[in-house]
Structure 1
Amino acid sequence: MRALAVLLTWSIILLVLASPTVAVEGTALLVEIDGAITSSTDDYISEAVATAEEGGYDVIVITLNTPGGRLDETFSIIESIENTNIPVIGFVYPHGATAWSAGTLILISTDIAAMAPSTVIGSMQPVEISGEGAQPVNDSKVIKALVSYAKVRAKKHARNETAVEQFIVSNLNMDAREAVEYGVVEYVVEDVPSLLREVDGSEVKGQTLHTAGARVVSFEPSLRTSLLAILSDPLLYSILLLIGIYSLIFGLTNPGAGAEIGGMICIALGLIGMGFDVSIAAVFLLILGVALILFELSTPGHGIFAVAGLICTTVGLVLLVPMGYPDQLISPEFTRTLLLSILLPALAVGGLFVFAAYKVAQVQRKKPLMNMGPSGERARVVTSIPPGGSGFVSLHGEYWKATSTVGAAKGDEVVVVERRGAILVVEPSKEEKNEEDTYGKS
């Protein structure tokens, strides 16, 4: 019996040693940054990291396709990446994508950095908007602070600090092949599954990655985060603010229609989209612009006050959108596009609202013809007027009931002889009489 027990024990040991090793399949959470980094992107990444920690994911893959964006949110995103115990992989994807400015800063701050073929990173020099357009910031204090921050992240992950510095001071750009060659990123891969196979077995944050064949789950943000992502689009919240301001003007000049309520809702949504980063000067210009337009509606100024109000509201709206350091780390090309996308709708919508408001005020100030003496005015017969009967005529674009002793045919020109209450007494004009006499004689 003893010999049998020893034999069974050794048999079990041999079977265990001979059995093939079973690979541990991991789970990866796929998070996409697609578009400008706005006030909602920070919430989006924080929520994704929390989901990965609660769900026990092995790795987080952040794909980047962005022109850059707000610097405060970028710092917050990097903080979330560095504070989680889950390895985070940055991946510039898909083919042809870019991770400029703030996107590059996020990429070099991830635990593993990779790029798809035909992708580009770089252009990290901050820009500001002036009267001459988008201009690079050359303030040494600003540049040195940003360079130090970026180089610390590069050094932490053993990446090329010199290249990272050149991204900022010289707006250096690199494609995927160059980025790997100069040690800025670790991998060039076609897609996410290929990336997970490449990093399998890597040691990150004291963990060995088991990502070959890992199950990839796309992150689905909450309804709140999705709504903030929509509202934080600069073009959308600038239009919301425009509509809100001019709806408020119409509501104050024509109470009861509910325009002022809709205007306040649009303004609130626009401010939420901006993240409530409001400039005092911009708010002053907006208030001044609204006041000037209201003054134009109440006191005729030949449109001068309305035009001045439009200029103030447009400039105020542009100032509300943060364009330069320290709010933005974004490529100059995207900055110019963003500025045009704000200015053109502002001018178009603002001009439309001012024109409509001016026409409404013009109609309100116009005296009704009932209080005027239309005698001697010429009108056009709309419906035939039989002798001694009545019909309708058009006078200054308004329909009047009219009567005539001699009658008039449809389309004839008549002269108003007198007005009896709301009824005009008319007779054919001299030209119409002459034509009738001529035809009668022939």
Structure 2
Amino acid sequence: MMPNRPDAKRRVLFWLSLVCLALGALLAWQAQAQKASPQSGLALAMTIDDAIGPAIGDYFQRGLELAEEREAELVVVQMDTPGGLDASMRAMIRAMLISPVPVALYVSPAGARAASAGTYLLYASHVAAMAPATHLGSATPVQLGGGGGLPGLSEPEPETEPESEPVPESQGAVQEAADGEASQGESTQDAGSARQDESAQELAKRRGETAMERKVLEDAVAYIRSLAERHDRNADWAEQAVREAVNLTAREALEQNVIEVVASDLDDLLAQIDGRTVVMDDGTLTLSTADLAIERFDPDWRTELLAVITNPNVAYFLMIIGFYGLIFELSNPGGLVPGTIGIISLLLALFAFQVLPVNYAGLALILVGLGLIVGEALMPSFGILGIGGIVAFVIGSVILMDADTLNISLPMIGGIALLAAGLMLWVMTRFIGLRRRKPRTGQEELVGSEALVLDDFAGQGHVRLMGERWNARSTRPLSRGQSVRVTAVDGLTLEVEPLASSS
């Protein structure tokens, strides 16, 4: 007897349901077990191998944000920098100090350095590390006070010695005897005073020669000492690095408690700092870096583009292109191409100047100089506006940047100034040539033209000029077919005289 077919189907469906429930329970248990079990963490590796500037600052802060989003255990920054802008450095340090993810600054590869701003960043990091054959230091602010004018204009005035009073004759012998007794000690006194002068000069160098230099120097010293004290590093050497621009190798920095680790590579660094306690914004944190997976976050196209735009020479050139593009568009409305290129270039230049340490007096001089050069082209003044514009343009270009490491290239300044001078000279010669050229329209064009006498007359008659019949007047009798020259125009009557060859 055959079994009932509906009952068989029910049993099959029942067992299939049990199997699906078992598989679902198994998958849920596995997911929960994976969630509960510890996974290997993530270390985000970044690279800084250029001067500290707006582009590097943007890249660094985006890296910290990415590390926080990815819940990374550590950010490792491989650094090789000659220094850079103070504003960008301080922005990076602020982001590092408040970051919930610890940051390890690692000066590498061999031969790299953490100079100037790099030293501050190393002191601000949660873990300071260096590779063998690297060094750090030279943290003195390069241009104290933001520049004091053009080179050579701020030399300290030499101190004048007070004039000696005349000695009476009666005291001459006594004075000579005293001089003879003191002559033996003069050499030792001179040597001592020389040493004192050298010490005073050295002290002035360490403390700053002017009030502004002292303010900037003391601010830098206090800043780096506060960073050193936060992470329990050698604050005295940090002050020396600022005041005296001293340097240390990786091994010396480790011995003097400037850094914590000398590591040969990233894996060695992660192994050495495993279990180390670091100071965070909200307390302390014990690092667990033994089994971290390294993920790289290298500079992308945005960082490269920002680095190009914020290059002082590129920003300067973009400003020149933008200015002349707008001038050409305004002088020839409807061209579109100069105006489009000009507005884009000018906006990019303004963005770069927003993040660069720009001296606005220099920027104003550049714009005034360019305006005077254009004014010379539109309203010739025989060189007065043009020469003044070139002088203002060159001076403004030299003092445009407040940082020595970001100065405009002098060959570029000279090249653009020579180009502007050549353009101005060409415009002047063109205007002079136009003034000497014979008029081509109006009554002035008729003076000096040749005409043909249509009938004999003495006094008034008619001539043909440029295919037209004109009334003519002459003080000499003229015959039909004779060639004459127009000497003046009186309304619709021409003053004529016979040509020398036809007289």
Structure 1 residue 309, shift from structure 2 partner = 1.6
- Mapped pair 1:216 → 2:231: no
* Residue 112 (structure 2) aligns with: 97
> Which of 315, 319, 341 is the matching residue for 1:262?
341
Higher share in strand: 1
- Mapped pair 1:159 → 2:252: no
Cα deviation, 1:186-220, whole Å, max 9, x if unaligned, reads 12222222222221222234433332353221215
> Which of 121, 131, 141 is the matching residue for 1:126?
141
Superposition map of 1:117-266 within 5 A? 117-128=132-143, 129=147, 130-132=149-151, 138=209, 139-204=213-278, 205=280, 206-220=284-298, 224-257=302-335, 258-266=337-345
Cα pair 2:75 2:101 within 8 Å, conserved: yes
Cα pair 2:390 2:420 within 8 Å, conserved: no
Cα pair 1:242 1:350 within 8 Å, conserved: no
> Which of 60, 80, 85 is the matching residue for 2:75?
60
Cα deviation, 1:274-302, whole Å, max 9, x if unaligned, reads 32565442332123102210222134345
Looking at structure 2, the residues matched to 249 and 309 of structure 1 have their Cα atoms a distance apart, in angstroms, of: 16
* Residue 34 (structure 1) aligns with: 49
- Distance 1:242-1:193 versus aligned 2 partners, 3 A rule: farther
Cα deviation, 1:226-274, whole Å, max 9, x if unaligned, reads 5323311222212222333344444455555432442232121112123
Specify the code of the residue in structure 2 equivalent to 1:188. Answer: V
Looking at structure 1, the residues matched to 326 and 432 of structure 2 have their Cα atoms a distance apart, in angstroms, of: 21
Cα deviation, 1:9-46, whole Å, max 9, x if unaligned, reads xxxxxxxxxxxxx9963321112222122223332222
Looking at structure 2, the residues matched to 226 and 354 of structure 1 have their Cα atoms a distance apart, in angstroms, of: 34
* Secondary structure at 2:409 match in 1: helix
- Distance 1:361-1:93 versus aligned 2 partners, 3 A rule: farther
Looking at structure 2, the residues matched to 41 and 49 of structure 1 have their Cα atoms a distance apart, in angstroms, of: 12
Looking at structure 2, the residues matched to 302 and 116 of structure 1 have their Cα atoms a distance apart, in angstroms, of: 64
- Distance 1:245-1:307 versus aligned 2 partners, 3 A rule: farther
Specify the code of the residue in structure 1 equivalent to 2:138. Answer: S
- Distance 1:193-1:302 versus aligned 2 partners, 3 A rule: farther
Cα pair 2:360 2:400 within 8 Å, conserved: no
Specify the code of the residue in structure 1 equivalent to 2:57. Answer: D
- Distance 1:350-1:94 versus aligned 2 partners, 3 A rule: farther
* Residue 273 (structure 1) aligns with: 352
Looking at structure 1, the residues matched to 414 and 330 of structure 2 have their Cα atoms a distance apart, in angstroms, of: 22
Which stretch shifts more, 188-197 or 84-93? 188-197
Which stretch shifts more, 236-245 or 162-171? 236-245
Specify the code of the residue in structure 2 equivalent to 1:194. Answer: D
- Distance 1:350-1:215 versus aligned 2 partners, 3 A rule: farther
* Residue 370 (structure 2) aligns with: 290
- Distance 1:214-1:313 versus aligned 2 partners, 3 A rule: same
Cα pair 1:114 1:185 within 8 Å, conserved: yes
Superposition map of 1:41-56 within 5 A? 41-56=56-71
Fraction of identical pairs, as percent: 33
- Distance 1:105-1:296 versus aligned 2 partners, 3 A rule: same
* Secondary structure at 1:349 match in 2: helix
Cα deviation, 1:49-99, whole Å, max 9, x if unaligned, reads 110000011100112222222212211111111111211101112222222
* Secondary structure at 1:293 match in 2: helix
Which stretch shifts more, 275-284 or 115-124? 275-284
- Distance 1:59-1:225 versus aligned 2 partners, 3 A rule: same
* Secondary structure at 1:345 match in 2: helix
Structure 1 residue 147, shift from structure 2 partner = 1.0
Structure 1 residue 151, shift from structure 2 partner = 0.6
Structure 1 residue 158, shift from structure 2 partner = 1.3
> Which of 62, 73, 90 is the matching residue for 1:75?
90
Cα pair 1:40 1:225 within 8 Å, conserved: yes
Looking at structure 2, the residues matched to 174 and 64 of structure 1 have their Cα atoms a distance apart, in angstroms, of: 16
Aligned residues: 341
Looking at structure 2, the residues matched to 268 and 348 of structure 1 have their Cα atoms a distance apart, in angstroms, of: 23
Structure 1 residue 361, shift from structure 2 partner = 5.7
- Distance 1:231-1:181 versus aligned 2 partners, 3 A rule: same
* Residue 310 (structure 1) aligns with: 390
Cα pair 2:150 2:399 within 8 Å, conserved: no
Which is higher, the Rg of structure 1 or of structure 2? 2
Structure 1 residue 166, shift from structure 2 partner = 0.4
Specify the code of the residue in structure 1 equivalent to 2:240. Answer: Q
* Secondary structure at 2:77 match in 1: strand
- Distance 1:238-1:229 versus aligned 2 partners, 3 A rule: same
Looking at structure 2, the residues matched to 310 and 153 of structure 1 have their Cα atoms a distance apart, in angstroms, of: 47
* Secondary structure at 2:84 match in 1: strand
Specify the code of the residue in structure 2 equivalent to 1:262. Answer: I
Looking at structure 2, the residues matched to 176 and 102 of structure 1 have their Cα atoms a distance apart, in angstroms, of: 17
**What RMSD over aligned residues (CA atoms) do the two structures have, in Å?**
3.1
* Residue 175 (structure 2) aligns with: none
- Mapped pair 1:347 → 2:411: no
Which stretch shifts more, 157-166 or 143-152? 143-152
Which stretch shifts more, 185-194 or 205-214? 205-214
* Secondary structure at 1:263 match in 2: helix
- Distance 1:194-1:315 versus aligned 2 partners, 3 A rule: farther
Structure 2: segments with no counterpart, 5+ residues: 1-36, 156-204, 446-503
